């Protein structure tokens, strides 16, 4: 009732305003004709009233009384023109048919038509003018925009329209020479990126908006590094590339702070989403370790790709609760499940009840130094947990079983990597025992995952430093969580069973460089505002991670970022079962050295030493190392 009342109140207000504008246009038209005519015509009150009523009627039929006053645009202006044109033509047509059409009527209606457009249009746009021009806010932040395309145009419109963004655009830059010297919304396009760098050196700027969603990641990285080198405290924001795939209007709300994946310069992978969707559509998918960074992203991606039902399994009830909360208002069927993958009876019943078609096995202990201290726990979860799930997948004839593996499984120097290599061996073994297709996918570190280096560095920066790094030459592979998960799912879709896929992680990143870039992202200067210390490699860590064993070859697939490792089984099914039984016996005695010995038999490439790469744990700062050199 209240909504209907508001509609009628607004309609009456606009009808009154339009009527006054049209009647005023009639009066002005009459005065103009009388001022240039030799004859003194009486004011055509009836004609003015008629044209006003006709115009109001057609403005209503063209739905002009349903348009928001604040957002009147060119589209609404055309509706006004059309409404007034139709009403003027009908008026003239009536007088023509009645045989009463005179030169005065034609001149009068023509003038009324054009002036009505001006007066009605001015009335309709008055609120927008007052918001965007007359009451221009006093903006505090001085900003420049890199990019003068459609995205930049929409962003600048949004900034003009909304005072709360608190931005004042003072210059625009673009690499296209044909745009130089022009202006956007009254702001000059001053030149290319080189001119932008010069501008930043001599001008007071608070914020840079990079409004080119198609800008390649390597170029974006170069721009950010150059800008931060000139003004470390400058806030840089970017428009993500996903807007290229969307018809939604771009606004300031879509701009985000630059993140570490922007400055790594890695181009996002191209994924065949339709093939993954077809492999999941209408199927029940079980995700173990669903509360972790990878597991939760798998849940999200499977939900967006139309899986019939998702079972989000994790031993951590808090994380399962958050998953349930995330999807509680969606139409996706996401069923939370708190369970331990070592509880064979419980998991067996779950398989019996839910009958999953696809399993993504992400549950694992992944923290390298922690698992060096508790190798028995790593064996329980990473090895025995994988065996339980694999055997039950065979028993219940699950279609596909995708193991999330790691680059640390290659020539492992730690328990975590070695146990994941055994999990791969279990998958290869069970692939020959039943109809289930077992697939393993290896990849490196993911940005922003729990326990990864990036959140740790960010916490250290917020606490004033120092940032602690194991060694100045340590390198790691990195990939974003969504990218790695989609590539895992793509590999799972491609797999026919018995494969170990390896994701192309690009070039390894030096951790020291990443730390410096993170410091710069926070507007600080490395070794000045935030110190960097080297603490030595921790137990089980390597200088460089590998994705393929030396004795393995690699085959290309139809996806350039997914490769297939040529790796056969080390042990027969019978030998593997015997070794796993031996490993379980040693577990009962909690003899860590004996456990490592059995693992060495299972994974011949596994090496474990107290001293790794001849490095100790002495702390040294960047400055001390530079002085030594």
Catalytic residues: 408
Neighbours of 273 (CB within 10 A): 14
In the beta sheet, which residues pair with residue 238? 210, 256
How far apart (Å, rounded) are the C-alpha atoms in residues 69 and 333?
Answer: 42
End-to-end CA distance of the chain: 80
How far apart (Å, rounded) are the C-alpha atoms in residues 345 and 52?
Answer: 82
Q: Beta strand 562-566 with 553-556: parallel, antiparallel or unpaired?
A: antiparallel
Instruction: Specify the DSSP class assigned to residue 178.
Output: G
How far apart (Å, rounded) are the C-alpha atoms in residues 370 and 377?
Answer: 10
How far apart (Å, rounded) are the C-alpha atoms in residues 329 and 332?
Answer: 9
How far apart (Å, rounded) are the C-alpha atoms in residues 505 and 480?
Answer: 10
Q: Where are the strands (E) in 127-227, listed by range? A: 141-146, 167-173, 183-184, 187-191, 207-210
Q: Which segments of 98-171 does DSSP mark as H helices, in order?
A: 103-129, 150-161
Contact predicate 239/214, CB 8 Å: no
Chain position carrying tokens 């059995």: 598
Q: Which long-range contacts (CB under 8 A, 24 or more apart) does 56-64 make?
A: 56/15, 56/18, 56/19, 56/22, 57/87, 58/83, 58/84, 58/86, 58/87, 59/18, 59/83, 59/84, 59/120, 60/15, 64/14, 64/18, 64/124
Chain position carrying tokens 């038209």: 29
Q: Where are the strands (E) in 199-265, listed by range? A: 207-210, 235-238, 256-257
How far apart (Å, rounded) are the C-alpha atoms in residues 339 and 363?
Answer: 11
Would you state the torsion angle of the CA atoms of residues 263, 266, 270, 271, taken in this order, to the nearest 10 degrees?
-80
């Amino acid at each position: 009732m209240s909504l209907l009342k508001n509609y009628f109140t607004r309609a009456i207000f606009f009808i009154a305003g339009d009527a006054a504008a049209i009647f005023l246009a009639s009066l002005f038209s009459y005065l103009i004709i009388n001022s240039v005519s030799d004859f003194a015509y009486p004011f055509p009150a009836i004609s003015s009233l008629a044209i006003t009523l006709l115009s109001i009627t057609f403005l209503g039929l063209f739905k002009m009384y349903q348009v928001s006053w604040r957002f009147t645009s060119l589209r609404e202006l055309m509706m006004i023109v059309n409404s007034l044109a139709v009403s003027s033509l009908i008026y003239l047509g009536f007088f023509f048919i009645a045989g009463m059409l005179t030169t005065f009527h034609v001149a009068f209606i023509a003038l009324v038509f054009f002036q009505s457009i001006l007066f009605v249009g001015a009335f309709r746009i008055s609120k927008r003018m007052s918001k965007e021009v007359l009451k221009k806010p006093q903006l505090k932040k001085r900003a420049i925009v890199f990019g003068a395309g459609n995205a930049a145009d929409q962003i600048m419109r949004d900034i003009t329209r909304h005072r709360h963004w608190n931005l004042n655009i003072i210059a625009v830059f673009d690499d296209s020479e044909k745009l130089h010297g022009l202006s956007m919304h009254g702001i000059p396009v001053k030149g290319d990126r080189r001119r932008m760098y010069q501008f930043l050196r001599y001008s007071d700027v608070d914020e840079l908006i990079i409004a080119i969603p198609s800008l390649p990641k390597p170029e974006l990285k170069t721009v950010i590094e150059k800008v931060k080198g000139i003004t470390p405290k400058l806030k840089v924001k970017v428009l993500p590339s996903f807007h290229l795939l969307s018809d939604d209007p771009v606004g300031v709300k879509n701009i985000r702070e630059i993140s570490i994946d922007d400055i790594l310069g890695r181009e996002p992978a191209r994924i065949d989403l339709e093939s993954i969707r077809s492999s999941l559509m209408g199927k029940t998918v079980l995700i173990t370790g669903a509360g972790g960074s990878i597991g939760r992203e798998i849940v999200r991606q499977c939900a967006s790709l139309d899986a019939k039902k998702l079972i989000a399994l994790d031993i951590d009830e808090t994380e399962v609760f958050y998953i349930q909360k995330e999807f509680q208002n969606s139409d996706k069927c996401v069923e939370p499940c708190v369970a331990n993958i070592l509880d064979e009876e419980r998991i067996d019943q779950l398989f019996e009840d839910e009958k999953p078609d696809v399993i993504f096995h992400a549950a694992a202990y992944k923290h390298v130094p922690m698992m060096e201290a508790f190798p028995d726990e790593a064996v329980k979860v990473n090895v025995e947990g994988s065996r339980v799930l694999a055997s039950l997948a065979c028993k219940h004839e699950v279609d596909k079983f995708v193991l999330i593996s790691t680059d640390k499984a290659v020539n492992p120097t730690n328990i975590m990597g070695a146990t994941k290599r055994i999990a791969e061996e279990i998958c290869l073994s069970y692939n020959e025992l039943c109809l289930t297709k077992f697939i393993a996918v290896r990849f490196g570190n993911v940005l922003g995952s729990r326990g990864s280096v990036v959140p740790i560095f960010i916490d250290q920066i917020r606490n004033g430093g120092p940032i602690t790094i194991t060694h100045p030459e340590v390198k790691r592979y990195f990939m974003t969580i969504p990218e790695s998960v989609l590539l895992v799912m793509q590999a799972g879709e491609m797999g026919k069973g018995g494969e170990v896929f390896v994701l192309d992680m690009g070039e390894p990143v030096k951790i020291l460089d990443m730390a410096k870039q993170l410091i710069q992202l926070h507007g600080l200067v490395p070794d000045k505002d935030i110190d960097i210390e080297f603490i030595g490699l921790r137990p089980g860590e390597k200088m460089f991670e590998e994705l393929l064993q030396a004795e393995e070859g690699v085959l290309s697939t139809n996806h350039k970022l997914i490769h297939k490792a040529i790796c056969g089984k080390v042990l027969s099914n019978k030998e593997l079962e015997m070794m796993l039984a031996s490993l379980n016996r040693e577990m009962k005695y909690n003899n860590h050295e004996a456990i490592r010995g059995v693992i060495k038999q299972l994974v011949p490439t596994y090496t474990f030493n107290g001293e790794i790469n001849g490095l100790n744990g002495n702390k040294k700062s960047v400055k001390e190392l530079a002085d030594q050199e």
